[in-house]
Amino acid sequence: MRALPGKTGRVADERFIVRFGRTDRIQHLVLFVCFLGLAATGLPLRFTEAGWAPWLARLFGGFALAGTVHRVLAIGLLVVFAVHLVRLVRRLAGGDWSILWGPNSMVPQPKDLQDLIGHVRWFLRKGPRPVFDRFTYWEKFDYWAVFWGMVIIGGSGLMLWFPQAFAYVLPGWMFNVALLIHGEEALLAIAFIVTIHFFNSHMRPSKFPMDLVMFTGVVEAGEYRRERPLEVARLEASGQLEQRLAPPPDPRFVHRARIVGAVAMVVGLTLFLMIVVAVLGVRLL
């Protein structure tokens, strides 16, 4: 334990700070379960020529049943998205404009660009590590990637699900575009999540093998102070830190979270390996 005598964080360092609320964590859980299921049921259609594709399609009971599973999970994802949007609107309606700008907003701001440049300089040993606030630029990228993916993949998916209804207003060639974009954007999303997101948030050396904050909702105060110094400083200055302090997570819950997280990462990496196999045209069976 790094003791910093004289600093106000002495007590806080031994405790935990709440980073994500219960609803956020449930949304993330539903999000990644649905996402991985959608990927597993969708990838056989994206890579039909791959040796694993018919096998995976049959694992889900054939293309018809796999399609049903895909649509059910899509509803789950759209519900998560809808809940998120409703919560944003309610915060705005309640007069909370902080989601639009400032440290509590996901909107990209000049500091994000400075942080990115500073971070890269730090990678190259040309400068100090940037001092991050509540949401970093890579977390914002993840957020908007999911946001964009929801609109693009969800929208094109609904078009393909209800082509007759959409064809009342859209010309037929839109479905050609929808099919292409649905597959390509989904492929981008899967590959991004299981490589970049997995690394940035879980597998990089200082987080390896995974960061459980999205399961437990809390970060050890000392760790948080180092990683998000600006937010901790702001909380201390405004006297809100005490409200954000929490007891350590239940070890049994942490254990379960670790199992769920590990399964999700194994599934995700397996799907990614299958994509690599398909793209390289490797025949395993």
Partner 1 sequence: MSLRLIGVAVPLALLLVAAPGRAQSSPTNDVCLTCHGEPDMKRSDGRPVTVDPKRFEHSVHSPLACVDCHADLAKTTDFPHPEKLAKVDCASCHDDQAKQLAASVHTRRPHGNGPPLSCVECHRQPHEILPASDPESATNKLKIEDTCGRCHGDGSAPDGFRGPAVARMFSDSIHGQALTRAGLVVAPTCSDCHTSHAVEEKTSTHSPVFAANVPATCGKCHAGIERDYHAGVHGAALAQGNTQAPQCATCHSAHAITRTESNAWQLGAVQECGTCHAEALATYRDTYHGKVTSLGFSPVAKCADCHRPHQIFKPTDPRSSVHAQNLQATCGACHTHVTPNFVKYQPHANPHNRTKLPALYYSSLFMNALMIGVFGFFGVHTTLWFLRERVGPDDESPPREDRPRG
Q: What is the binding site for partner 1 (CB under 8 A)?
A: 1-2, 44-46, 48-49, 53-54, 57, 62-64, 119-120, 122-125, 128-129, 138, 160, 163-165, 167-177, 179-181, 184-185, 187-188, 191-192, 195-196, 199-200, 204-206, 212, 216, 220, 222-223, 226, 248-249, 254
Which of 183, 223, 165 lies closest to 70, judged by CA? 183
CB 248 within 8 A of CB 276: no
CB of 99 to partner 1, least distance (A): 25
What does the alpha-carbon distance between residue 187 and residue 264 come to, in Å, rounded to a whole number?
17
Q: In whole angstroms, how close is the CB of 206 to partner 1 at the nearest point?
A: 6
28 or 226, CB closer to partner 1?
A: 226
Beta carbon of residue 84, minimum distance to partner 1 (angstroms, whole number): 22
Number of helical H runs and strand E runs in the chain: 14, 3
Rank residues 54 and 155 by Cβ distance to partner 1 and give the closer one. Answer: 54
Which residue, 180 or 262, has its beta carbon nearer to partner 1?
A: 180
Residues 6 or more apart in contact with residue 35 via CB below 8 angstroms: 77, 189, 193
Euclidean distance between CA atoms 142 and 200, whole angstroms? 10
Helices (H), 47-136: 52-59, 62-93, 110-123
Contact (Cβ atoms closer than 8 angstroms) between residue 186 and residue 209:
no
State in angstroms the smallest separation of the CB of 282 from partner 1: 18
Question: Which residue lies nearer to partner 1 by CB, 180 or 237?
Answer: 180
CB of 264 to partner 1, least distance (A): 18
